[in-house]
Structure 1
């Protein structure tokens, strides 16, 4: 996978905390930032799935009324 360079500006305290955390984890600053972004993406994905599940739970009756509830005919099971 190719890498892209990002230039970001943060305040001195944030930069020092990031350097310290990367050192504590034994990884480079680049690896630390990449790890944080990947974790954020994972959390966002989980939040989306949870929200979608909640939406379907709340509106299941509306979908069934509109599109029918014959799941056996479509091969779907509960």
Structure 2
């Protein structure tokens, strides 16, 4: 995958903490930042799925009234 260059500004303390963590993990700063973003996106995806499941749980009766049960939907599609 092609890489893109990003320029970010952080305070000196944050930059030093990031350098130290990357060094502790034996990876470059680029790899460290990339991993952080990927982890964050994974959490966002999980949060979305959890929120969608909660929404469906709370509003299941409305969907059933409008569309019927999943098995009824399959019967209509056939």
Paired residues in the alignment total 75
Unmatched 5+ residue regions in structure 2? none
Q: Match of 1:9?
A: 9
How big is the alpha-carbon RMSD for the aligned residues of Structure 1 and Structure 2?
1.3
CA distance in 2, matches of 1:15, 1:36: 14
How far residue 71 of structure 1 moved from its aligned partner, in angstroms, is: 1.5
CA distance in 1, matches of 2:23, 2:35: 14
Q: Match of 2:54?
A: 54
Corresponding residue SS for 1:5: coil
Q: Match of 1:63?
A: 63
CA distance in 2, matches of 1:43, 1:54: 16
